[in-house]
Amino acid sequence: MSSEKKILNCGTTDPNKILPIKYKWAREYYKKGVANNWVPEEVNMQGDLEIWKNPRALSDDERRLILWNMGFFSTAESLTANNLVLSIYKHITNPECRQYLLRQAFEEAIHTDTFIYCCDTLSLNPDEVYDMYRSIPSIKDKDDFVVDMTKSLLNPSFETKTKEDIQNFVHDLVGFYVIMEGIFFYAGFVMILSFLRQNRMVGIGEQFQFILRDESIHLAFGTDLIKTIVAENPEIWTSDFKEVIRKNIIRAVELEYTYAKDCLPQGILGLNADFIKEYIQYIADRRLERIGLEKIYGSQNPFPWMSEIIDLRKEKNFFETRVTEYQSGTLRWD
Ligand code: FE
Ligand code: MN
């Protein structure tokens, strides 16, 4: 019976028995992911290459902003994929959640591939880009913060048996889903999508648009997963534990603001680091509320266009650029 299914420590059902489904949200996110299928080669990068090669088409500040975001995302995507496959998958034995985790892992492979494709087409120096997670302090600090949060899970004997174990697990899930995918990606999204809004570096902009849409589902799955673990194990949700999570999110917002200041030492593209700080605070409040915690900042969204970009349907872009290849897919033409 599906009612015997539990999200953690479920010895009573077979992990291969996906039907009947208990956690319908996991199934729905899986289907949404499939409906959003894309690959980076669908996006034409020719216009970006022309701009990138033209020494007068981009200011030094604009170039740095693009390069640093390539640097952060190129390695953050594989960090996320590794966390997912090596840590989270092992402990989430519920089959419908595992089905989604497999889909998410595939999407992270697509994202990793996107940065390979961008580096190749723009002829970026891979040694430079793929070393920025060590050589640029504000990128390194973000990655170190997330890696630090995975320590308990990387212990091969880690189990989710006791209250403290489950707290550690949820703590780490907040690190992966809420902080890495839900906060640390967002200054970069705003910066790159600001080029797209100006109709410049449109290829990279569209790649980021697709990634952002995937990531918003990863985040939604992650927060539903966290909420379900808490609902089934209410003893873990103590005020001390909630305070630990709040402090981690506050620290993440600070790290993301430091990164934004480094990327954007002076205002360009209608952006500056203080607007980005407000935006990060605004989304951090939304993330807190989504996992059942009170908001902290009360900041307004300075970039209301970001939510439109997330909701944008792929087919619209797609018909403008590459009509033919999508006919084999499941897209309906009405
Ligand atoms: Fe990703
Ligand atoms: Mn992701």
CA of 60 to the centre of ligand 2 (A): 30
Return d(Cα 117, Cα 143) in angstroms, integer.
22
Q: Does the pLDDT value for residue 152 go beyond 90? A: no
**Confidence check: pLDDT of 1 > 50:** no
* Ligand in closest contact with the CA of 210: 1
94 contact partners, CB below 8 Å, separation of at least 6: 5, 6, 7, 10, 15, 22, 23, 26
Looking at all shown ligands, the one closest to residue 101's CA atom is 2
Six-digit token string for 171? 């703590």
Give the pLDDT score at 3.
55
Distance 98 CA to ligand 2 centre (A): 15
Q: Which is the catalytic residue, given 89, 117, 297, 326?
A: 117
CA 16 to chain centre: 28
C-alpha separations of 299 from 59, 140, 252 in Å: 31, 27, 16
Res 189 pLDDT > 70 = yes
pLDDT at 333 over 90: no
Distance 232 CA to ligand 2 centre (A): 25
- Which listed ligand is nearest to 218 at the C-alpha? 2
Residue 318 pLDDT greater than 70, yes or no: no
- This prediction has a pTM of 0.91
pLDDT at residue 310 is higher than 90: no
> Is 117 a residue of the active site?
yes
How far apart CA 285 and CA 252 sit, in angstroms, is: 12
Class level of CATH domain 13-331: mainly alpha
- Quick one: which ligand is closest to 176's CA? 2
Residues whose CB falls within 8 Å of the CB of residue 250, separated by 6 or more in sequence, listed in order: 296
Distance of CA 238 from the midpoint of ligand 1 (Å): 31
- Alpha carbons 109 and 182: distance in angstroms, whole number: 18
Read off the pLDDT band of 334 (50, 70, 90): very low
Integer Cα distance of 141 and 151 in angstroms? 16
CA geometry: angle at 83 spanning 81 and 86, to 5°? 100
Look at residue 284 and tell me whether its pLDDT is greater than 70: yes
CA–centroid distance, 244 to ligand 1, in Å, is 26
Residue 156's pLDDT band (cuts 50, 70, 90):
confident
- Give the per-residue pLDDT at 9: 82
Mark residue 231 as left, alpha or beta (left: phi above 0; alpha: psi -120 to 50; beta: remaining): alpha
On whether the CB atoms of residues 166 and 160 are closer than 8 A, the answer is yes
- Mean pLDDT score of the chain: 90
Q: Is the pLDDT of residue 328 over 60?
A: no
Tell me how far apart the alpha carbons of residues 166 and 230 are, in angstroms, rounded to a whole number.
Answer: 9
Q: Measure 224 CA to ligand 2 centroid, in angstroms.
A: 15
φ, ψ of residue 282 in degrees (nearest 5): -60, -45
Neighbours of ion ligand 1 (CB under 5 A): 77, 108, 111
